[in-house]
Amino acid sequence: MSRLEIARQTSVAHGSAIATMYKQPIIDELRQIEFATVEGERRLAEKEAQLIECRRLNEDTSKIEAELAVMREVQLDRERLRQRLLSLLHR
């Protein structure tokens, strides 16, 4: 069980007073997800530039479009996790 899962369970089971003890693991997890989010945005921008270039050259873009769809979904998951972590910190 990760430190984040322990913090979540403790927060739910014992209220925000005990959750305060677990702020550092949440902050650590938030730091990691924020880094991953920034990297994800960078990779998305690169892939979108690649898509534009392929369209400009009249090349098949179906593979890139499929990759972008997956990448966007993963990025959305990261952003949702980030919001959940932030909400845990503000309880």
pLDDT in tens, 13-61: 555 555 567 788 999 999 999 999 999 999 999 999 999 999 999 999 9
Buried (b) or exposed (e) across 9-19, using 16+ Cβ within 10 A?
Answer: eebeeeeeeeb
Residue 6 has pLDDT above 80, yes or no: no
Residue 68 burial class via C-beta count within 10 angstroms: exposed 0-12, middle 13-18, buried 19 and up: middle
Residue labelled with tokens 């270039």:
53
pLDDT band at 4 (very low <50, low <70, confident <90, very high): low
pLDDT band at 90 (very low <50, low <70, confident <90, very high): confident
What pLDDT was estimated at residue 23? 87
The SS3 assignment for 12 reads helix
What pLDDT was estimated at residue 2? 62
Interatomic CA distance for residues 63 and 74, integer angstroms: 17
Interatomic CA distance for residues 62 and 74, integer angstroms: 19
Which one has a higher pLDDT value, 2 or 63?
Answer: 63
